[in-house]
A and B are shown apart, each in its own frame.
Chain A
Amino acid sequence: MKRNTYKSVPDTSGHFGKYGGRFVAETLVPLILEVEKAYKSIKKKKKFINEFKKYLKDYVGRPSPLYFAENLSKKLNGPKIYFKRDELNHTGAHKINNTLGQILLAKSMGKKRIIAETGAGQHGVATATVCALFNLPCTIYMGEVDYKRQMPNVFRMRLLGAKVEKVKSGSKTLKDAMNEALRDWVTNVNNTFYIIGSVAGPHPYPEMVRDFQSVIGYETKDQIKKAEGRLPDFLIACVGGGSNAMGLFYPFLNDRKVKMIAVEAAGEGLNKKHAASIAKGQLGVLHGSKTYILQDKDGQIIEPHSISAGLDYPGVGPEHAWLKDNKRVKYVSVTDNEALDAFKICTKIEGIIPALEPCHALAYLIKKAPRMPKNNIIVMNMCGRGDKDIFTVAKKLKINI
């Protein structure tokens, strides 16, 4: 690692220190090497950069606003809280930043078919959306459990023309959807591009997804400078695989005074069922990269649990594992119930219905803000909106709708 920089990773072999790498079946290796080569070449090309920017602006609606959450700030009587409003993006979450980037890459590589995995369905919808836009057929893999708890998104994907495959193996959630997508990819390796939705998977995906998502952080930097004349004291985001957090954090990594907090899903509690891979996971290899993984003493993957489908994953992006070791980002966790409380508070006092994923970041913020200095500034990534979650929330609150 170069001194004084947190931006020197991954190395040429795709490792973030001891994390990351390319742990995939041989059949896929030539293809992922090809993806890496294509990405390296395209990311410097003006034509690609301009096209990506154009779609982000005119199609996604970027830049997303940086909103001073005055009511919440007042209520907590602590620092100034800003929301980076990525939930206002087209399709309702940050996921589309990445799917746009990857589909432009897939097109440039001449790929004729797209596949993706999805947990909450946000990445699936974002993928189905860009596939509709660019007229490419796509198949979305979704665990049966998620399929049931995110029905509105299943319907949206279908309307957009995607084939949604219900995955019934294993725990029937995001990790199994990813297994199934990898099986599809191995089978259709010649014509298919796999749009991975998080900063996970084999190199170059963690780097590539981070780069596409870093538009969140770059915009935030400009916006907060304009609003406050300085950088924030804290950034806070939720982490499942960790793409929204990486997107917000990355541009600030070398700004040492900006502290960063990533919030994992503690589910029913860290000693019960949860999805907190950094807090409770151990070093291992899953889905192409080495990172912290929820596993038992035999190295079998443990079925994670979170109220939020988007955080219900037993691993975490390798760069997060690296940032944790380097103590650049602080990793914490909050439970289902705390996230649910945050959901209610935010909806009532800010008039914003947040997705259950960012509610985790919000819950931690609500807990800590009252004890923080009033002259501090916090930016939280509101990475998705909660329309998709209303059924889950209603069920949890025992309300019939």
Chain B
Amino acid sequence: MPQQDLLKKKFDELKKKKKCGFISFITAGDPDFNTSYKILEKLPNSGVDIIELGMPFSDPMADGPVIQKANDRAIKNKMNLKKTFNLIKKFRKKDIITPIILMGYYNPIHKFGINNFIKEIKKNKINGVIVVDLPPEEDNELCLPIIKNKIHFIKLATPTTDKNRFKKIIKNSSGFIYYISITGITGANYKSNIRLQTEIKNLKKLTRLPIAVGFGIKNKKDVKKLSEYADAVVVGSSIIKRVEEALKKKYNKIKLINFVLNYIKSLTSAL
């Protein structure tokens, strides 16, 4: 089976079950390689359908303070793209069915080299890539080479996206559409409302790709509400906030890991 089908297979499966998928976001190497691996390996058993893994970057312009700090922690502990691939390699030895998406900013990828990046993605059976600062205007940089290699390139749509813009966005995108619920940074306040519901309904008329909704989703109630009309929900900052909290409380590694996973389970139980 070509590796990109894992993602499609997952969404097909969810559709059949009439279930909204849960995408968890954590930063690779936060707070360190081993702890983040321990969290990663238990995500599928915690109700996570798709794993989104953040590639640390020193200047995450679209992220709020929680994810900024996660990036800083990971970088401080010498996390980089190569080790991110090692992390996934280790995970893939045990799990070959959970789809993994890499998310991050372009500069570390550019530095790593496009060809190397694609080679590692294939080698480690990673299913898709989201790059925050590569809009369709810059498709030549990475999107087209990625798609050519049959890896999903997932694009973002936002409340500022109108119909024409959306058509441009979906042109070279695959996997799913990541809909940003608010104009703002990660971890900001999300409000479930009619506007969001209408926007997603409208987007669905324009694409057959599943639509995942993220940014600012903080609790079971948000997840539940969104599951009524989104194909998947993405939760990031509020998971990482648990890492931050556990570190602040000086929990040992095992307690930290459980603290984070229990929180994720409490969210996924809403679906």
Contacts and interface: CB of A to CB of B under 8 A. Distances in A.
Contacts of B111: 282, 284, 295, 297-299
Contacts of A254: none
Q: Which of B58, B81, B105, B138: most chain A Cβ within 10 A? A: B58
Contact of A27 (B134, B136, B180): B180
A320 interface: no
A30 B65 contact: no
Contacts, number: 118
Contact of A25 (B107, B156, B159): B156
Interface stretch (B6-14, B40-48, B86-94, B183-191): B183-191
Interface in B4-57: 56-57
Contacts of A123: none
A206 to B, nearest CB: 15
Nearest to B111: A299
B59 A286 contact: yes
Contact of B137 (A13, A183, A293): A13
Interface residues of B, number: 43
A22 B61 contact: no
Contact of A186 (B105, B155, B161, B183): B183
B195 interface: no
A175 B59 contact: yes
B133 to A, nearest CB: 4
A294 to B, nearest CB: 11
Nearest to A182: B61
A186 B62 CA distance: 8
A283 B180 CA distance: 30
A298 B65 contact: no
B180 A26 contact: yes
Nearest to A189: B183
Contact of A22 (B105, B108, B137): B137
Interface in A347-364: none
B58 A22 contact: no
B251 interface: no
A376 interface: no
B174 interface: no
Contacts of B162: 30
Contacts of B184: 27, 186-187
Contact of B61 (A26, A179, A298): A179
Given A169-B65, A186-B62, A298 B160 contact: no
Contact of A299 (B68, B81, B133, B159): B81
A26 B106 contact: no
Contacts of B56: 300
A190 B160 CA distance: 8
A205 to B, nearest CB: 14
B169 interface: yes
Interface of A: 13, 21-31, 169-170, 175-176, 179, 182-183, 186-190, 282-288, 293, 295, 297-301
Given A21-B137, A188-B183, 14 more contacts: A21-B138, A22-B137, A23-B133, A24-B133, A27-B184, A29-B136, A176-B59, A183-B61, A189-B160, A295-B107, A299-B57, A299-B81, A300-B57, A301-B59
